[in-house]
């Protein structure tokens, strides 16, 4: 056993409370929210850069998010194992899988579980906390980080710390856990803080063998399913794809319920770095840089006579607020949310309603990521649709055909290699290609810079499901 | 002299207080606001449909709005004279021009001046009021309609009525005007209402010769400029284009200041139909149909826990409000405004700020009307731009060329007649045409249905001003 910490980033959430920026197709951990230009997932991964402290990280994420995870890691120059959950099963199965993955190399590996969607205001303090918690983990405790509360939050669970742990762990500041407490009401929260309770940040540091023992004791069905899913996992490009049938057997339960509230081996290290789970737009306002009027403004935004508000324009839309205080206004290219800074928790209910009404904006973004790049619908009419398609250098779309539409491609940047019914040709900037209905075609970017093209689809039906895939290098069933 | 009323619709306003729906390039009188599918200009013109009461109307509008006016009249099947103001000069010069235009046919014509941007809740009552005011006008009074106040508005001017007019006019309810009062504060407004004052709706009915006498007496410079502008006006398609040099000499002054507050011939007919000048978003909420929660919702909108609010999505953007009362949220394809229902007057200041900052959304809409149809930018990048272009049956774009861009046209509906360097060919649905940089080209819709095409521009500069016009059937300098 070495002292290295094996970090595992839990990256499977869908985060509808930060709609419309966060959606099923592009959840909040992947969006630059708390800081410009970098998602909380990227910030979390970057926080683990000290190779003397952290081993190569693993990321557990939903199957649909795999190319997004790979892309964002590549942007940050970070190498990681990417474990793919074939379905959503809450945190206990994910922790079980992560632990088994680490234990395969070192039965006593130190595993650190981190949520991908939290903001930490002091990276060095976080690393020091992880280092300080090691002694407790080595001694057989499942260590948590207990964050010093800054206000009586009703959005967080609390940890009541007990006596100091013995030996080196205690010297490093670690204490036993008296109990875990669920989200309290406001009065109870104030009382808990007065009694010395800490926020449960959702970080766990433990020896793999210890967690496996505790899973065996308290959640054997979770462990069994996770073990089967890992043992029959397949490698697919850079991904470890967990076995679907096995993983689906895991009960849907959080690690807090499954293990932490039942184990006698929980420990807590009190820490005091700035932290937020960015659970609501109001929480994002709390951790954002604000101007003299208390406004957190991002993107194409103008305000007048407005204070203590969050105004966030994620796309090109000019977003203005006049004469209102304490509001949240979030604009994307296809949706707008206006709410109060305190009312953020109700957004989830709104998204549920939109979903029931069949509004596509409930879950889908206009900009869709694919392994070869991305596409975005820019116009649609009765018998046509227009998309901007971006293909990464080396990216290859599937060999495909359509039953109901012809396509016109105009290259506006880079070079395309276009295959139509077996004939390959290069199409350069300001050149066009025509793909008649029913032709078998493929688009490849053979160049060194991204390829951008405008696709005009014409036909009686232009839905995404009119794609007959003949061959795909990414092993996908969709486009 | 007949009993027919010659209506003149003043249609020259720019209406920034209803931004972002109303802009310089498409002002509020042309937008369906108070009722779905019909603008207040169209509703105003339709209100004059009784041929036994009203002669063919005239419309006075800004030069830039001429095709919009013609289009909206055509939609309503209404024939009118369209008088074009070459520059903006407030209402007195417009009234002078309108009066001279009517007097040319009948020196004693009864002229009714109507603003294009007001909501009237009862068309029949309006027509009855115009008919009832005729006796006063025939007797030599400049009649106004004094609207019964429903609340102590600070947004309207007031009229203090005096004694009954003599004869038939008095029998019809007309009274002399004691005085005109400017917009009061709230306390003064309540006092005025208690004293029997009425709102000044901005309607004027008079004999042409009477108004010309009063202009001569009180605003001779206005009359002189208007007379010169009308005498040297030119006909251009269906339009009467006032002489620019002459009209520009007119002082910029309202008819209220120039004549009404000075003349001794003012009369007022008290009326009580529902009316609003739709001067702010809050005023629009007042006259809108509202649901059980007091919300006026229009377009792709969803609200939750929200009351007494106006939520208006003019384009495709899904607009949501959660847990806020008394707010105004207006979304267009490129801009969002969030404000309070009472704070609408500050919107003008916001637009002024946006204009100073050079934000294009301050004045320009994405959808731009042209005599041949319309175009809309749907995407833009570093070296490209994509537009959706719609050409009416028979519409002809100018013969033109570009120095810095090539264009690809893909027809998605209808048939295009495309001229490239002297060669003419038909391009049908799902066919494309390529226009190299520098070629002389023209687009025509020779068909019976609208032509829609997607234009992909590729080049180092794609600004609207890179159009060298060689010939244009509409006599324009722009595209």
| Tens digits of residue pLDDT in B216-273 | 999 999 999 999 999 999 987 778 999 999 999 999 999 999 999 999 999 999 999 9
Cβ pair A456:B458 closer than 8 A: no
Using a 10 angstrom Cβ sphere, with 0-12 exposed, 13-18 middle and 19 or more buried, the burial of residue A166 is exposed
Residue of A nearest to B349 (CA): A304
Cα–Cα distance for residue pair A292/B383, rounded to 1 Å: 38
Cβ contacts (< 8 Å) between B361 and chain A: which residues? Answer: 318
The larger pLDDT score, comparing residue A431 to residue B2, is at A431
Q: CB–CB of A308/A341 below 8 Å? A: yes
- Note the pLDDT tens digit of each residue in B117-127: 999 999 999 99
Residue of B nearest to A407 (CA): B430
Q: What is the mean pLDDT of chain B?
A: 93
Residues in chain B: 479
Q: Which two tokens stand for residue B95?
A: 């009234």
Cβ pair A320:B350 closer than 8 A: yes
Confidence band, pLDDT 50/70/90 cuts, at residue B464: confident
Quote the ipTM score: 0.86
Q: CB–CB of B28/B272 below 8 Å? A: no
pLDDT the model gives residue B26: 86
- Adjacent-strand bridge partners of A339: A328, B322
pLDDT the model gives residue A1: 46
The mean pLDDT value for A11-38 works out to 87
Confidence band, pLDDT 50/70/90 cuts, at residue A477: low
Cβ pair B322:A339 closer than 8 A: yes
- Neighbour tally for A195: CB within 10 Å: 11
Q: Which two tokens stand for residue B413?
A: 């509906």
Half-sphere exposure for B358 (CA within 13 Å, toward CB): 0
Element (H, E) at B138: helix B123-138
Reply yes or no on whether the pLDDT at B474 is more than 90: no
Cβ pair A322:B302 closer than 8 A: no
pLDDT the model gives residue A471: 87
Residue with tokens 């059937």: B473
- Note the pLDDT tens digit of each residue in B37-88: 899 999 999 999 999 999 999 999 998 888 889 989 999 999 999 999 999 8
Residues in chain A: 479
Considering only CB atoms, B336 lies closest to which of A320, A349, A350, namely A320
Considering only CB atoms, B324 lies closest to which of A20, A313, A339, namely A339
Cβ pair B324:A327 closer than 8 A: yes
DSSP state of B393: T
Cβ pair B322:A429 closer than 8 A: no
B5-276: CATH homologous superfamily?
Spore Coat Polysaccharide Biosynthesis Protein SpsA; Chain A (3.90.550.10)
Cα–Cα distance for residue pair A13/A23, rounded to 1 Å: 10
Which of B309, B355, B376, B408 is the best mutation test for A, with the most CBs of A within 10 A? B408
Reply yes or no on whether the pLDDT at A200 is more than 60: yes
Cβ contacts (< 8 Å) between B413 and chain A: which residues? Answer: 381-384
Q: How much of chain B, in percent, has pLDDT values that exceed 70?
A: 99
Residue of B nearest to A406 (CA): B430
Best CA proximity match to B113, nearest among B98, B123, B129, B132:
B98
Using a 10 angstrom Cβ sphere, with 0-12 exposed, 13-18 middle and 19 or more buried, the burial of residue A428 is exposed
Cβ pair B412:A458 closer than 8 A: yes
Which of B311, B328, B412, B449 is the best mutation test for A, with the most CBs of A within 10 A? B412
- Adjacent-strand bridge partners of B77: none
Decide the pairing of beta strands A175-181 and A266-271.
antiparallel
C-alpha separations of B110 from B52, B103, B202, B208, B219 in Å: 14, 9, 16, 6, 20
Q: B106 CA to chain A: closest CA distance, Å? A: 50
Q: CB–CB of A330/A314 below 8 Å? A: yes
pLDDT the model gives residue B1: 46
Q: How much of chain A, in percent, has pLDDT values that exceed 90?
A: 81
Cβ contacts (< 8 Å) between B347 and chain A: which residues? Answer: 322
Reply yes or no on whether the pLDDT at A233 is more than 70: yes
Best CA proximity match to B260, nearest among B226, B223, B218, B225:
B218
Cβ contacts (< 8 Å) between A313 and chain B: which residues? Answer: 336
Q: B29 CA to chain A: closest CA distance, Å? A: 23
Best CA proximity match to A441, nearest among A393, A390, A383, A397:
A397
Q: What is the mean pLDDT of chain A?
A: 93
Cβ pair B319:A336 closer than 8 A: yes
- Neighbour tally for B139: CB within 10 Å: 19
Decide the pairing of beta strands A416-420 and A423-427.
antiparallel
Q: B159 CA to chain A: closest CA distance, Å? A: 32
Q: Which two tokens stand for residue A80?
A: 């990681």
- Note the pLDDT tens digit of each residue in A371-386: 899 999 899 888 999 9
The mean pLDDT value for B366-379 works out to 88
Q: B408 CA to chain A: closest CA distance, Å? A: 8
Q: A450 CA to chain B: closest CA distance, Å? A: 13
Give every CB contact of residue B336 below 8 A, 6+ residues apart in sequence.
A313, A317, A318, A319, A320, A329, A331, A336, B20, B317, B319, B329, B330
Best CA proximity match to A135, nearest among A267, A273, A272:
A267
Reply yes or no on whether the pLDDT at A2 is more than 70: no
- Adjacent-strand bridge partners of A147: A199, A271
The mean pLDDT value for A298-320 works out to 95
Which of B315, B318, B385 is the best mutation test for A, with the most CBs of A within 10 A? B318
Cβ pair A320:B412 closer than 8 A: no
Q: CB–CB of B362/B332 below 8 Å? A: no
Reply yes or no on whether the pLDDT at A93 is more than 90: yes
Cα–Cα distance for residue pair B446/B414, rounded to 1 Å: 9
- Note the pLDDT tens digit of each residue in A269-292: 999 999 999 999 999 999 899 999
CATH 2.60.120.10, chain A: domain bounds: 367-471
Residue B434 sits at the vertex; the CA angle it makes with B429 and B436, to the nearest 5 degrees, is 160
Considering only CB atoms, A429 lies closest to which of B324, B353, B458, namely B458
Which of B454, B459, B462 is the best mutation test for A, with the most CBs of A within 10 A? B454
pLDDT the model gives residue B479: 43
Which of A19, A318, A435, A453 is the best mutation test for B, with the most CBs of B within 10 A? A318
Give CA A400 to chain center in angstroms.
Answer: 30
Best CA proximity match to A242, nearest among A122, A385, A85:
A85
Please give the full DSSP string across B310-335, using - where no structure is assigned: EEEE-SS-EEEEES-BSEEEEE-SSE
Best CA proximity match to A339, nearest among A31, A19, A117:
A19
Q: CB–CB of B263/B218 below 8 Å? A: yes
Q: Which two tokens stand for residue A477?
A: 């069933």
Cα–Cα distance for residue pair B257/B360, rounded to 1 Å: 34
Cβ pair A338:B321 closer than 8 A: yes
Cβ pair B335:A317 closer than 8 A: yes
Cβ pair A378:B381 closer than 8 A: no
Considering only CB atoms, B383 lies closest to which of A383, A412, A432, namely A412
Cα–Cα distance for residue pair B368/A334, rounded to 1 Å: 21
Long-range contacts of A303-312 (CB under 8 A, 24+ apart): A304/B346, A304/B349, A304/B350, A304/B353, A305/B343, A305/B346, A308/A341, A309/A285, A309/A341, A310/A281, A310/A282, A310/A284, A310/A285, A310/A341, A312/A21, A312/A281
Best CA proximity match to B237, nearest among B473, B60, B77, B479:
B473
Q: A291 CA to chain B: closest CA distance, Å? A: 19
Residue of B nearest to A339 (CA): B322
Using a 10 angstrom Cβ sphere, with 0-12 exposed, 13-18 middle and 19 or more buried, the burial of residue A386 is buried
Give every CB contact of residue A54 below 8 A, 6+ residues apart in sequence.
A4, A5, A6, A7, A48, A112, A130
pLDDT the model gives residue A82: 95
Give every CB contact of residue A465 below 8 A, 6+ residues apart in sequence.
none
pLDDT the model gives residue A35: 84
Interface A:B, Cβ pairs < 8 A? 187
Q: B301 CA to chain A: closest CA distance, Å? A: 9
Residue A115 sits at the vertex; the CA angle it makes with A109 and A117, to the nearest 5 degrees, is 155
Cβ pair A329:B346 closer than 8 A: no
Residue A61's SS3 state is strand
Cα–Cα distance for residue pair B411/B417, rounded to 1 Å: 11
Q: A199 CA to chain B: closest CA distance, Å? A: 28
Cβ pair A354:B302 closer than 8 A: yes
Reply yes or no on whether the pLDDT at A473 is more than 90: no
Reply yes or no on whether the pLDDT at A76 is more than 60: yes
Give every CB contact of residue B35 below 8 A, 6+ residues apart in sequence.
B43
pLDDT the model gives residue B2: 63
Cβ pair A327:B338 closer than 8 A: yes
- Note the pLDDT tens digit of each residue in A323-382: 999 999 999 999 999 999 987 778 999 999 999 999 989 988 888 888 899 999 899 888
CATH 3.90.550.10, chain A: domain bounds: 5-276
CATH number, domain A367-471:
2.60.120.10
Buried b / exposed e along A450-479 (16+ C-beta atoms within 10 A): ebbbbbbbbbeebeeebeeeeebebeeeeb
pLDDT the model gives residue B110: 98
Confidence band, pLDDT 50/70/90 cuts, at residue A16: confident
């Amino acid at each position: 056993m070495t002292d290295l910490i094996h970090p595992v980033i839990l990256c499977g959430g869908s985060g509808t409370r930060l709609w419309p920026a966060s959606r099923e197709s592009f959840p909040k951990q992947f969006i630059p929210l708390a800081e410009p230009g970098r998602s909380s997932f990227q910030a979390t991964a970057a926080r683990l850069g000290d190779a003397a402290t952290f081993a190569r990280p693993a990321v557990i994420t939903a199957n649909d998010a795999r190319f997004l995870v790979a892309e964002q890691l590549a942007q940050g120059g970070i190498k990681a194992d990417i474990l793919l959950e074939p379905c959503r099963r809450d945190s206990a199965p994910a922790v079980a899988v992560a632990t088994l993955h680490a234990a395969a190399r070192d039965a006593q590996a130190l595993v650190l579980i981190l949520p991908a969607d939290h903001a930490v205001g002091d990276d060095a303090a976080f690393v020091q906390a992880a280092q300080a918690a090691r002694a407790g983990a080595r001694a057989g405790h499942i260590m948590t980080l207990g964050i010093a509360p800054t206000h009586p939050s009703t959005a967080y669970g609390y940890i009541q710390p007990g006596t100091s742990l013995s030996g080196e762990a205690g010297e490093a500041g670690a204490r036993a856990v008296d109990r875990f407490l669920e989200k309290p009401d406001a009065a109870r929260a104030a009382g808990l803080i007065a009694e010395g309770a800490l926020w449960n940040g959702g970080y766990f540091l433990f020896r793999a063998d210890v967690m496996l023992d505790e899973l065996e004791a308290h959640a054997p069905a979770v462990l069994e399913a996770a073990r089967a899913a890992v043992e029959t996992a397949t490698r697919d490009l850079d991904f470890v794809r967990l076995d679907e049938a096995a993983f689906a057997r895991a009960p849907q339960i959080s690690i807090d319920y499954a293990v932490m509230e039942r184990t006698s081996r929980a420990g807590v290290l009190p820490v005091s770095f700035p932290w937020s789970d960015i659970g609501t737009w109001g929480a994002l306002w709390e951790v954002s840089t604000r101007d003299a009027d208390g406004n957190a403004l991002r993107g194409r935004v103008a305000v007048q006579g407005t204070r203590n508000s969050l105004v966030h324009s994620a796309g090109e839309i000019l977003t203005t607020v006049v004469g209102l205080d304490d509001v949240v206004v979030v604009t994307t290219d296809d949706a707008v949310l206006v709410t109060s800074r305190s009312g953020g928790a109700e957004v989830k209910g709104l998204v549920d309603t939109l979903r029931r009404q069949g509004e596509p904006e409930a879950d889908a973004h206009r900009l869709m990521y694919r392994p070869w790049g991305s596409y975005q619908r820019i116009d649609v009419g009765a018998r046509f649709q227009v998309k901007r398609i971006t293909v990464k250098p080396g990216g290859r779309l599937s060999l495909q055909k359509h039953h109901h539409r012809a396509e016109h491609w105009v290259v506006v940047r880079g070079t395309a290699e276009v295959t139509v019914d077996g004939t390959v040709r290069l199409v350069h900037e300001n050149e066009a290609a025509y793909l008649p209905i029913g032709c078998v075609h493929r688009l490849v970017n053979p160049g060194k810079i991204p390829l951008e093209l405008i696709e005009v689809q014409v036909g009686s039906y232009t839905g995404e499901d009119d794609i007959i895939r003949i061959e795909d290098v990414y092993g996908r069933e969709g486009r």
